Chain A
Amino acid sequence: MSLSAPDQAKADLDATGRVTELAAGYKPLPGIPDEFIGADGRPRAHWLRFLDTLMEFSAGDMNRRFATADRHIRDTGVSYRAYGDTSERAWPLSHMPLLIEAGEWREIAQGIEQRARLLELVLADIYGEGRLIAAGELPAAAVTGSPEFLHPLHGVKPPGDKFLHIYAADIGRGPDGRWWVLGDRSQAPSGAGYALANRLVLARAFPALYRDMNVERLAPFFEAFRFGLTSKAQRSDPRICLLTPGPFNETYFEQAYLARYLGLLLVEGGDLTMRDGKVHVRTIAGLKRADVIWRRIDSDFADPLELNARSRLGVPGLVDALREGGVVIANALGSGVLEAPAMMSFMPKLCRTLLGEDLRLPNIATWWCGQGQARRSVIADMDELAIAGAFGNPVLGFARNQPLVGAALGAEAKSRLAAAMTDRGVDFVGQEVVNLSTTPVWRDGRIEPRPFVLRVYAARTPEGWNIMPGGFCRISGRADARAVSMGEGVQSADVWVLADKPVAMVSLLPTGETVRIRRIMGTLPSRAADNLFWLGRYIERSEATLRLIRCLAGRMIETGAGTANPGSAVSKLTSLLVAWHAAPVEAVSSAMALAAIALHGGEDYGSALSLVRDARRAASFIRERLSTDTWRLIGDLKQNLSIDGQGPLAEAETFERADAALRTIAAISGLAQENMNRGAGWRLFDTGWRIERGVNTCRFARHFASGDAPADDLDVLLDLVDSQITYRSRYQMGVALNPVRDMVVLDSFNPRSVAFQVEKLDEHLETLPLLSDDGMIEAPRRLILQLAAEVATATASSLDNEKILGFEQSLLGLADAIAARYFLQGPHVARADKSSGLA
């Protein structure tokens, strides 16, 4: 429906009125540059254009769009941890982007490009010839003071002679309105993935606005970065790994996200091993060469043999592999030395010496106090300066990276500082006091100025540095701020670089002929295989437990709660739940309470909730391998089972909740069957699931179909394995032992029978890769072939509990054999956590 002309005119008028109102209510902080209001005190044209378009949405529509954006973040799991957090936090995205128009962006991009070139030369000289130090351009002590200067790397030439592959700078608008570099990120800059996630969320919430504003796309930058990584490898079509510190890192989400987006193999240190001067990934098909490592672990942790001996995140011998030129590491180990504030004081001069140019983007004026003259003047002018650690070290016991403003210090603190600077001037820099400039944020229908820092990224490509047109913007929660790191109250914002003309659509799709067709996505690392296997087992174990609970609640409803003699079926169900550690043995007195505890009790490791938590944890280690939908469903499952205990649930409620959880599991199973690529990952996941189901079905059969089982027990068993309808249609008479045993254990047409699981397991193990080409079958396959023969030749009448127990133990033996063959062994293991006591 379109508006008639007079209505349209009225709406336009309304929009204009609201923009005027917004602008009038916006008060930049005195003396501090702002993005919306220019130095002349008037709104900048591109911001007005943006607000005009935005205000065409009614307030209700806009709120709905903002809510959609927030929901999208929650649903897709965009998250981070503040340092020390145990759980992830949802990503706080500002509803307003930061806007930068084309002309201004060109200056920023050129400045970042120049700085990347400069830093590469400085780094190469520090770890190489050392001319700058010998010539007195860079004092030796200003280099060695950085904990990121790594002696073992001195003299190690990186392959292709390049140290930096990705670089970022934090910039802000200085008091004169120009952009300034506040800090360099040369080690392993984070945030690029969040920038990408921010873009997807905001562009989805306001597609037309995004298009009309001619916003530059981010995809070409990532394409260039990936290509740049590839180009330094020794082989064509190299294997590129993203080395992560693991799921407990602050930015693990981003690492998994980028690995997925760029098609990289996400690995932890334990996945890699150094042999003969080369680095390999431990996979289920043996060792596979890792050609390029994009590291997100700090250099010092990369090699316990030559660097930090306490590190459990690295790869022993990695530094030696670098010496041999056997692997490309981006960025080179030790490149964090450039991040020291001390370095800033030398950059203006180094730029002239090395490039013959002035810095296009100035950095904060900085004086390193290791030099006598600089120190004396910093001490003398302390009131006009900020004092910071020269190497990111804390000053006078204050937190890291927290510059002290001289003017704010008392006389006693100032004299203490001066004394410390006299002893060890090398540890201090004096810096110009910087106030961050502000940008509008949306709050309760108004816009308000908030200080921000913009991180801009540069990626090395064979053609030179490529600058991401956009960036990672952090906005402070408070009106006055000097530094912004992600934490309480801080938001991030999408950064829109506005082109002069419409922007062509590009996404990360390679062009035609150069791509080799492949159907299997590389090799599966052993650690990922381990976690996939356990994810399958935990989910199936939850399902079996939920079936017991649902069945128990169902019986209670039928027989009526509080019956004095609940019958053998009910007591068998409760005893099995206790045996599986779903509920404590004391709970047996009330079947109703026991069912509720088994469902959502958090104490017992076998409760449905505990098992789902374990499943979620296993999933968190392999998040980049799961579809967003699967991850969400596992999250939902956990959410729905976590109920605050307000007294025991009624039978009907327990039944309903267990039933709902089973439906979610059915959805997860459906996704796995219908959407998961049939690679080794899916096979390991399904193998875990099948083994667990086989074991549980054996246990159900032994428990409810022993030789003297009453009909009622057999009936429960048919419920548990979901085979009531099939049974009734196949056998006209009532339940009887042999037909039930056959259907539950031996009938390979029944997808819940033990026989069916065994057939599937054999299929999987036949397809998984072999370690050697000598034509011999491996241990797990040998076991499953044996078991398959036993199951296939057994008959219902020959079946007894002992035989079923034999099947069960064979399956557990198979699980061990699979672990020994496919998963990580040895000291550097990152095993899935098996706290649930599953064998």
Chain B
Amino acid sequence: MIYDIRHLTLYEYGSTVTFSHCALRLLPTDGPGQTVLSSELSVTPAPTQTIERMCFFGNRLTFLTIETGHRKLIIEANTSVEIDRREPLDEGATPAFEMVREEAFASTSFERDSPAHFLHPSRLAPRFEPASDYARESFSARRPVLEGAKELMHRIKGDFKYDTKATVVSTPLSEAFGKRRGVCQDFAHIMIAGLRGLGLPAAYISGYIRTIPPAGKERLEGADAMHAWVSLWCGEAHGWVGLDPTNAMMIGNDHIVLAQGRDYADISPVAGIILGSREQDVDVKVDVAPRV
């Protein structure tokens, strides 16, 4: 399946901004089952300097320096991506979760996909005992790791209500957990915190999900906006497996990966724009169109 994605971000300021540095993570990369056919970024006003780098976690990072006075900043990313993912793993065949964590603790890899990077608390997925305890219920002794994780994913879908009004980007995990409400970002962080609390490596994936459902199927939550889900390390032999707690489904051909990190803070799509001023407004639009 090929997707054409348009991701538009618009900032409006109350006063003229004459100089700004920002860092964008809006361009996808090739990965397992995913090939980027084209990608293009356009920014208004035009930056005086654009530097592209690969960040530690393998995401494309674009640094911009804007020196033209502006009250409006428009960032548009247009990408085309082909998705062809393998069938998901047989969860019963994955190793017991205790084995997986011992393996992760002893890892001698420092590559970007090493479990060691995703094992510890991070800024937006901090240590939170109630989330660990919640996750623990799905991991009875020696349970295959993916079996436990799938159950946890389904429980989150069942116990938490999707509610775009309940939280904002800066809402702490503990609050979303307490309210049992939130959006994809909250559910992903909660699931990650729970898994890590048990010593299991879990990553945060940001991306998109197809907007128009296939005929006869329900429309998925998280379309028309950025989406986020979880990737779990199932041991050296099985590697990383994607789980979407918002929709209670394994990652398949409806999901397009944009970036991966320990949590949202590692991969926020636009960094460096000073938020917090009352006089500032941000608007994001996402279109994900399957090519027919």
Contacts and interface: CB of A to CB of B under 8 A. Distances in A.
A134 B110 contact: yes
Q: Which of A135, A309, A393, A826 has the most CB of B within 10 A?
A: A309
A323 to B, nearest CB: 8
B127 A426 contact: no
A274 B21 contact: yes
B22 interface: yes
Is chain A's interface secondary structure helix, strand, loop, or mixed overall? Answer: loop
Interface string A350-388: 000000000000000000001110000000000000000
11 contacts: A133-B109, A141-B106, A141-B120, A151-B57, A152-B56, A154-B56, A306-B23, A316-B272, A370-B106, A423-B197, A425-B105
Interface string A294-329: 000000000011101100000011001000000000
B22 A140 contact: no
Nearest to A276: B49
A692 to B, nearest CB: 28
Contacts of A827: 17, 274
Interface string B54-66: 0111000001010
Interface in B104-128: 104-110, 114-117, 119-120, 123, 127
B21 A317 contact: yes
A136 interface: yes
Interface string A125-145: 000001001111001110111
Contacts of A309: 265, 268, 271-272
Interface in B88-105: 102, 104-105
A201 to B, nearest CB: 42
B51 interface: yes
B108 A140 contact: yes
Interface in B2-28: 17-19, 21-23
Contacts of A134: 108-110
B73 interface: no
Contacts of B17: 827
Contact of B120 (A139, A145, A276): A145
A424 interface: yes
Q: Which of B63, B110, B272 has the most CB of A within 10 A?
A: B110
Interface residues of A, number: 38
Interface in B263-289: 265-266, 268, 271-272, 274
Q: Which of B21, B56, B102 has the most CB of A within 10 A?
A: B21
B241 interface: no
A317 B105 contact: no
A371 B105 contact: yes
B106 A371 contact: yes
Interface string B170-197: 0000000000000000000000000001
B198 interface: yes
A143 B127 contact: no
Nearest to A312: B274
Given A141-B105, A309-B265, A426 B199 contact: yes
A308 B123 contact: yes
Contacts of B56: 151-152, 154-155
A135 B108 contact: yes
A139 B105 CA distance: 8
Given A140-B107, A276-B49, 19 more contacts: A130-B110, A134-B109, A135-B108, A144-B117, A144-B120, A145-B119, A145-B120, A152-B56, A305-B23, A305-B271, A306-B23, A306-B271, A309-B271, A317-B21, A424-B197, A424-B198, A424-B199, A426-B120, A826-B18
Contacts of B266: 151
B58 to A, nearest CB: 11
Contacts of B120: 141, 144-145, 391, 426
Q: Which of B23, B63, B114, B123 has the most CB of A within 10 A?
A: B23
Contacts of A145: 119-120
Interface string A656-678: 00000000000000000000000
Contacts of A274: 21
